[in-house]
Amino acid sequence: MIDVDPAATAPHPVRTLVMGVLNVTPDSFSDGGRWFDPAVAVDHGRDLIAQGADIIDVGGESTRPGCERTPVEEEVRRVLPVVQALSVEDTALSVDTMRSQVAEKVIDAGATIVNDVSGGLADPDILRVCAGADVDLVLMHWRGQSASMQTLTDYDDVVADVITELSRQVDAALAVGVARERIIVDPGIGFAKTAEHNWQLLRAADAFQDAFADLRVLWGVSRKGFLGQLLAGSRGPRPAMGRDAATAAITSYCALHGAWAVRTHEVRDNRDACETVAALRG
C-alpha cells in the first residue's frame, strides 16, 4: 500500500486524501506548459507536498477532450526524471499513464500508484505489470481515447451504466492477479460524459460507495469544463484557473460522502476542506 497513515488505506479513511496534480505536459487543459521543464516540475511537486498533498500524481500525456496521443518515448522522457527526483520525498507517488511500458519504468523509479484513466482498456498489459509489481492501481471509467471520447456519451442510465462498466474493468484486473485491496476506482468525471452526466454521477456518490464498498473511490473534478459551464458569465465559460472555489466545494461534498481521495490541481484549500469535513464527521 502507499506510504500514508494506515487508516488511509481503508476504503473509508478518517480523512479524505488529497492527490495533487503535477502535469509535465505542454497541452493539459488547466496548466499545460507551466511545469513542463523537469526542474520546475520537481519544485512544484515539492510545493504541493508542502501545501499538504498526500499523493503526487505525475502525468506526461494530456487527456483533455480532443487531444491526440503523445508518443510513448516522449511520455517517458517527461515523467521519469520527475518521478526519480520526487521519489526521495516522504509522499506517495502516482503516475497518470495508460501505457504498460511507462508503468514499468516509473514503478522501477519509485512510483507506488499507477493511475490509468483507461482502466486497463487502452493497454491491458498494464494490469499484468501492476499485478506483478504489487502496486496500487486506479481504474477509471473510460470509453475511448480523448480525440473521440465526447462522441461516446450515450447511456441508458449514466449512474447504473458507469457502475456496470467500471465493475467489468475491476473484474479484468482481478482476473490477471491484481489484488482487490490494491484497486482504486474512479467514476471518470468529464470522460465520455456531458455536463449533466457529471452532475448526475456526483449526486449519486453514495451509490458508488455502496457499489464498491470494499474498494477505495477517487474523484477527479478539478477545474473541469462542467464547472466552467456552471460559472459561465457574459464572456462564456469561466476559465480553468477560476474554478478552484467550485472544485473545493465538490471536494467537501465528496469527502462528506466517504471518498477515499480527491485529485486536484490546487492543494491547500482542498486539503483544508478535507480536514474540516473530517472534523465535522468526528
In sequence order, what are the residues at sequence separation of 6 or more whose Cβ sits closer than 8 angstroms to the Cβ of residue 87?
Answer: 93, 109, 110, 111
Rounded distance between C-alpha atoms, residue 282 and residue 14, angstroms = 9
154 three-state secondary structure: coil
Active-site entry in 78, 99, 223, 263: 263
Which residues make Cβ contacts (< 8 Å) with residue 223, sequence separation at least 6?
Answer: 29, 30, 240, 241, 243, 244, 247, 265
CB-CB contact of 194 with 149 (8 Å): no
Active site residue 105: no
In Å, how far are 29, 55, 56, 148 from 264, measured between CA atoms? 13, 10, 10, 24
Residues in the chain: 282
Say whether 168 is catalytic.
no
Catalytic residue among 15, 216, 224, 271: 224
- CA–CA separation, 218 and 254 (whole Å): 9
HSE value, Cβ hemisphere, 13 Å, CA-based, for 255: 27
Written as one letter, the residue type at 35 is W
Active site residues: 224, 263
